[in-house]
Chains A and B, each alone.
Chain A
Amino acid sequence: MINGPLIIGISFTYLGLLFAVAYWADRRAEQGRSVIARPTIYALSLAVYCTAWTFYGSVGRATQNGLGFLPIYLGPTLMAFLWGSLLLKMVRVSKSERITSIADFIASRYGKSQVLGGLVTVIAVIGVVPYIALQLKAIAWSFTILSHYPEVRMPVHGDGPFWADTAFVVALLLAAFTILFGTRHLDASERHEGLVAAIAFESIVKLVAFLAMGLFIAFGLLGLGGPELPPIEDSPLLLPLLEPGISPFADWFAISLLAGLAVMLLPRQFQVAVVENSDERHLRRAIWLFPLYLLLINLFVVPIAIAGLLTFPDGTVNADTFMLTLPIAFEQPWLALLVYIGGLSAATGMVIVETIALSTMVSNDLVLPALLRRWRRRPPAADLGRLLLTIRRGAIVVILLLGFLYYWLAGEAYALVGIGLISFVAVAQFAPAVIGGLYWRGGTREGALAGLSAGFLVWIYTLLLPSFAKSGWLPPAFMESGLGGFDILAPMALFGLTGWNEITHGLFWSLTANIGAFLFVSSLRAPNAAEASQAGIFVDASRRTALASAPLWRGSAEITELMTLAERFLGSARTRAAFTQYARVRGLDSPDTLPADAETVYFAETLLSGAIGGASARVMVASVTDEEPIGLDEVLNILDEASQIRAYSRQLEQKSRALEAATEELRAANIRLQDLDRMKDDFISSVTHELRTPLSSIRAFSEILFDDPDIDGEQRRRFLGILVSETERLSRLVNQVLDLAKIESGHADWRTEVVELQTVIHQAVSATEQYVEERGSSVHLDLPDGSAMVWGDRDRIVQVLVNLLSNAAKFAPTGSGEVRVRLSPSPAGWRVCVEDNGYGIPESDLELIFEKFHQTARGGAKPGGTGLGLPISRRIIDNLGGRIWAESAPGKGATLCFELPAHPGNPSDRRPDHEPDHE
């Protein structure tokens, strides 16, 4: 039922669908409703990383070395963690500089060097064309295998003329498709929206096909339906799959690193990840979605490999074709077709994007510089835009034909089969120049050239040539003995380094040579003006506030000449539109009034960069302007000024933050001061009130006695007694206010001495004896044997005790008052409690009584005190490191207690451990 015409029909239908998706997305973009302005589409387009080499080849790799296929996906997954900085910088720089390719990027970084751009392009073409060949082969093979359905037969290479080969037709078709979607405009800022949408669509198709196949096999292996597979035996073939390991670690590490670099530096990856990026915020989703995609597409690699080895145990079926041959063997025509479409997706996606990226590089960095040199002698035709497009389209055809040629010539040779990772290593040579250029200002053009050349040469020597030798194109002896027969130069064991696989070995030596040469040559001279200014743009890209690429240009130019130049590449309509918009940004009505200053020249150059690459744009703009050379000193001054301005603004920010903080502190301090002020006012108001009361009595009785000398003796004596006691009260109050002020201000002198509590209690009791007796009360002492020693100020402790005792006597009922003093050990040291049998204190007042001038009229009687005794006592006890509090059950008297820490030499260990805590 499956035959050639059906497959061709389906293939064309699929390509037509792809075309439709791309067309639809382009139309949407024109209407301003971009479909690719979604982070998911961006992440899916990155999956162009998964080529036919993934789709078919992962299973093949798994049959050979178990989990060995994993690092190729592990690397990008780990690398994605760094995208927040690395890829973000690349995207930002590329947007502001209108960078169109990886070659443009590197050339731009090192002073817009045409030579550098050319070298990168050469490396990319040589490194990647064989990889394109591999994709063509995959499409041709999958077509041939499927057309033999239901027979499982391996294709035979090259039986027929090249123009009859499927791959040739495929190459031409893909060239047509690529030209249609990749070279409609010249400006890279008008991204290939349709293309990206089509690539994202392809990513979905290949994932669905792989998962469908995987589920089918997984059901078979688990016995849940699906194919009837032979039982898993202990076959030596299955060993690497059933007992997977990650040794040798060096290879895992190397290949992960390699793949991690390739996922950003492969021309097609740079194209989708950087050039086609429409919004840098899309990176955030790609950082997790892209690794997730990789995980899904690798989920069933091992089961499919196992099923393949079980189904085709004799080795006649190439493991790379298991994806397709398995559904054929189990007579699943639709699944086979789906897999074929999936493989077609993977291959076409890679080929189209890679070819566009390479053709841009070839035209901007190889062909155009050559033309520019010629134009210096002979002026070019007016419409350079058409010419450029033609160059680019020609490059597409040539690249694809080169790919086909490589496929045709290499056939089954190792040079094609093993090219995947070899290709990666070639691209990895860009890493030092790119990553070094984004984080280090010291790199120079010569350094980058030296690094790239050294790495590339080592790559040719250790990887490309040995692959040729393995294919029989070079004498095999070359592999063993190396150049000139020196063993030490053996390409696969350079300087005697053995034990790693060839990729690890090649990567190690090529990157070592690359980085070494890059650093060494860069160190030979300081960056010149152009390099230094570009270094500023690249290294500071992650700072949003970085000066938007300060134009370092001085000279004279004519606005009309700049516009004419742009028109030759972009056409007059688009040039006019771009300049008009730019004029509007600068607040001008018409582009004709634009000043031809550094900024305008820079704008024109950037505009052109989008079409012809940075290096060529620089040359073209220089040809119509009269530029004065700017010395390195000047550039450095300007850059220095810029960084100083940045530093100043940072300082300013810091200062304004500090100022805000200080203001906040001041405000808080002010509030505290206001509080204190109010408290002071309250205190003074309370004090005056307390002073006025005895003064009132004193004044009243003095006046009464003064006015009326005839008052009888008895009354006179009574009044004079009141006068004396009120005067005493007044002096007591004044003393206490002063005492309190002294304690609160911290000016009180505190003696630190060992005090025996029994002694001070006796002292306080005798001091208050008279007052207590006058009130008709009695004092009972409950003191333990032995000395209760504390650290403290003897006089102050006596003062507290006198306060508590007179308080207790005052509130005890007159005549029948009983005051009890109890001394006991406590967990904190020693506790002294003074108890009376008065009315007690309401619970709400237990704390209030320690506040200044708070006097509770206990039992209705106005107490005669100053209202300062307890506050002073509290401050004294606090100061001595203890605490004081009141307990009371109303109606049963009040107990005021304080605790002081025991003196260390005190026999407080005498106290019983079971002593309950009374609190």
Chain B
Amino acid sequence: MSLTMNKRILIVDDEPNIVISLEFLMMREGHEVRVARDGEAGLAAVRTLRPDLVVLDVMMPKLDGFAVLEAVRSDPGLAGTRILMLTAKGREAEQSKGLALGADAYMSKPFSTRDLVDKVKELLDRT
């Protein structure tokens, strides 16, 4: 089996159906999955749960994905957290902003499930 077994993954998104699909995909890969419905809850969960990887949506109520990303990256204690940004906004500027702020990967919605799974695997293998 791969090295990615039993990793903890946090999904932060406000679209219930997308959360369901992501949850299913990650659990199918054998990861432990937690869910947060908005940015604030997401940031709190990163701090308490210390996940290995966060799947982070950009457009969210209360605190958007970029703000969460910035907060996580400014906290040295959370340095090892890998972050995969998801966005329904397809503009390149968004993507480069996310990468500049320190996201490890960036995917546009709608995403290919296979690509997403591969990307998650790749990020978790990168140690």
Contacts and interface: CB of A to CB of B under 8 A. Distances in A.
Interface residues of A, number: 25
A857 B62 CA distance: 9
A699 B15 contact: no
B5 interface: no
B45 interface: no
A374 interface: no
Interface in B99-127: 108-114
Contact of B15 (A701, A725, A860, A862): A862
B18 A697 contact: yes
Given A701-B17, A726-B17, A860-B38, 15 more contacts: A685-B89, A685-B91, A688-B89, A696-B15, A696-B21, A696-B110, A697-B21, A698-B110, A700-B110, A701-B21, A707-B113, A715-B24, A857-B14, A857-B61, A862-B14
A847 interface: no
A697 B17 contact: yes
What 7 A-B pairs are tightest by C-beta distance, nearest first? A700-B21, A692-B88, A696-B110, A696-B109, A697-B17, A699-B110, A857-B61
A590 interface: no
Contacts of B88: 688-690, 692-693, 696
Contacts of B16: 862
Q: Which applies to chain A's interface (DSSP): helix, strand, loop or mixed?
A: helix
A726 B110 CA distance: 13
A211 interface: no
Interface string A669-703: 00000000000000001001110111111111101
Nearest to B25: A704
A170 interface: no
A700 B113 contact: yes
A103 to B, nearest CB: 86
Given A689-B59, A704-B25, A699 B112 contact: yes
A86 interface: no
Given A685-B89, A703-B114, A692 B109 contact: yes
B8 interface: no
A699 B113 CA distance: 8
24 contacts: A688-B88, A688-B90, A689-B88, A692-B88, A692-B108, A693-B18, A693-B88, A694-B17, A696-B18, A696-B21, A696-B88, A696-B109, A697-B15, A697-B21, A699-B111, A700-B22, A700-B110, A701-B21, A703-B114, A704-B21, A704-B25, A708-B28, A862-B15, A862-B16
Contacts of A703: 112-114
Contacts of A632: none
A529 interface: no
A722 interface: yes
A707 B114 CA distance: 9
Interface in B26-63: 28, 37-38, 59, 61-62
B20 interface: yes
B15 A700 contact: no
Contacts of B28: 708
A715 B24 CA distance: 10
Nearest to A688: B90
A695 B109 CA distance: 8
Contacts of B110: 692, 695-696, 698-700
Interface string B77-92: 0000000000011110
A710 to B, nearest CB: 11
B61 A862 contact: yes
Contacts of A689: 59, 88-89
Could you say which of B21, B37, B90 has the most chain A C-beta atoms within 10 Å of its C-beta?
B21
Most A Cβ at <10 Å: residue of B25, B90, B109: B109
A539 to B, nearest CB: 70
Contacts of A695: 109-110
Interface in A433-463: none
Contacts of B17: 694, 697, 701, 722, 725-726
A862 B22 CA distance: 17
A181 to B, nearest CB: 88
Interface in A699-727: 699-701, 703-704, 707-708, 715, 722, 725-726
Nearest to A694: B17
Contacts of B15: 693, 696-697, 862
A722 B22 CA distance: 14
Interface in A370-415: none
Nearest to A691: B88
Given A689-B89, A857-B61, A700 B111 contact: yes
Nearest to A723: B17
A715 B61 CA distance: 29
B89 A722 contact: no
A704 B113 contact: yes
Nearest to A695: B110
Nearest to B15: A693
A510 B48 CA distance: 115
Contacts of A698: 110
A857 B13 CA distance: 13
A692 B17 CA distance: 13
A41 B90 CA distance: 81
A708 B117 CA distance: 14
Interface string A847-881: 00000000001001010000000000000000000
